[in-house]
């Protein structure tokens, strides 16, 4: 098998995510610095003809420096990782596992500029991924399901502090109603960039619930003695989501009203359900 020293990965230099993980390949010795090349540098590379440029927008190419075969996407990453971790390549190439990671890779790749926004740059080759409704929808559905799971877990955790039943379900209504309202409002009233905005909302949801996980774990470790833990977790999560929403609204060049409506909607629906649960004692 040819080594990675005979191949070069061509990465999207306008994508922060692509820059980060390919830089990690170099830092941890999976690739040499000379084997990591940005699309912006391709004007001086004779092997550009070896690449399918359209496919390269969606699957990162690993080009053979000796005019051999170019491999793409998940196969390219497995080739690189298998150089040091051969077991990973064997496990992921098992058919059901490979099927899952192939689609996971595509979902991330098609949505990479939604997950981590990047400024438009003038380059020789525009490697921005094409819009794909299937993979955008997959990402949004995943975000909703993942966020619902963590929110339910957080609700179950906080129920120990206030000694109530059905904490997970209650928290889903308290925290989730505002998100549902925002998605529906965007669908009906946003005149443009609706699906892009929905993708950014999905990313913000994931960021928000990930920041709740340390508090959930710490609450369990401390046997639910310190109510300040979930309160601080909510404040940190809310602050980060607000900052991300402002940043992404600016990136999309949408009216700042959407940030106001989103934030007020989250707070109002949370207060509404909290009052309902408090007075009905269920």
Q: How many CA atoms lie within 13 A of 246 on its CB side?
A: 8
Q: Which two tokens stand for residue 1?
A: 């098998």
What is the per-residue pLDDT for 1? 45
Boundaries of every domain in the chain:
4-115, 133-280
What is the per-residue pLDDT for 119? 67
| Signed CA dihedral, 220, 225, 231, 236: sign only | negative
- What phi and psi values does residue 187 have, to the nearest 5 degrees? -65, -40
Per-residue pLDDT 10s for the chain (282 aa) are 455 667 888 888 888 888 889 999 999 888 888 888 888 777 656 667 788 888 888 999 998 877 778 899 999 999 998 888 889 889 999 999 999 999 999 999 999 999 998 766 655 677 888 999 999 999 999 999 999 999 999 999 999 998 888 899 999 999 999 999 999 999 999 988 999 999 999 999 999 999 999 999 999 999 999 999 999 999 999 999 999 999 999 999 999 999 999 999 999 999 999 999 888 765
Q: Assess contact for 201 and 183: CB atoms under 8 A.
A: yes
Q: Assess contact for 204 and 186: CB atoms under 8 A.
A: no
Q: In terms of CATH architecture, what is 4-115?
A: 3-Layer(aba) Sandwich (3.40)
Radius of gyration of the chain (CA): 22
Percent of the chain exceeding pLDDT 90 equals 63
The 10s digit of each residue's pLDDT in 166-219 is: 899 999 999 999 999 999 999 999 988 999 999 999 999 999 999 999 999 999
Q: Which two tokens stand for residue 172?
A: 């889903």
CA angle, 171 then 141 then 71, to 5°: 140
Supply the pTM of this predicted model.
0.89
């Amino acid at each position: 098998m040819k080594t990675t020293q005979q191949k070069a990965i061509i990465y999207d230099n306008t994508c922060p995510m692509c820059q980060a993980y390919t830089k990690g390949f170099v830092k941890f010795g999976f690739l040499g610095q000379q084997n990591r090349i940005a699309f912006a540098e391709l004007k001086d590379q004779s092997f550009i003809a070896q690449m399918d440029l359209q496919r390269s927008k969606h699957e990162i190419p690993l080009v053979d420096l000796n005019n051999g075969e170019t491999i793409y996407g998940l196969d390219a990453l497995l080739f690189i990782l298998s150089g040091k971790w051969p077991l990973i390549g064997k496990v992921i190439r098992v058919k059901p596992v490979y099927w899952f990671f192939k689609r996971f890779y595509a979902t991330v790749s098609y949505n990479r500029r939604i997950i981590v926004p990047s400024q438009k740059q003038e380059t020789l080759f525009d490697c921005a991924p094409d819009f794909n409704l299937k993979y955008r929808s997959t990402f949004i559905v995943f975000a909703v399901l993942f966020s619902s799971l963590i929110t339910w877990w957080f609700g179950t955790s906080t129920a120990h502090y206030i000694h109530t039943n059905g904490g997970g379900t209650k928290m889903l209504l308290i925290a989730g109603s505002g998100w549902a309202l925002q998605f529906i409002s965007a669908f009906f009233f946003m005149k443009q960039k609706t699906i892009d905005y929905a993708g950014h909302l999905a990313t913000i949801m994931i960021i928000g619930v990930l920041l709740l996980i340390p508090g959930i774990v710490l609450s369990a470790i401390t046997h639910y003695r310190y109510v300040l833990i979930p309160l601080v977790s909510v404040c940190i999560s809310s602050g980060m989501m607000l900052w991300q929403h402002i940043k992404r609204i600016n990136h999309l060049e949408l009216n700042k009203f959407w940030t106001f409506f989103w934030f007020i909607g989250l707070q109002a629906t949370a207060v509404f359900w909290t009052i309902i649960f408090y007075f009905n004692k269920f």
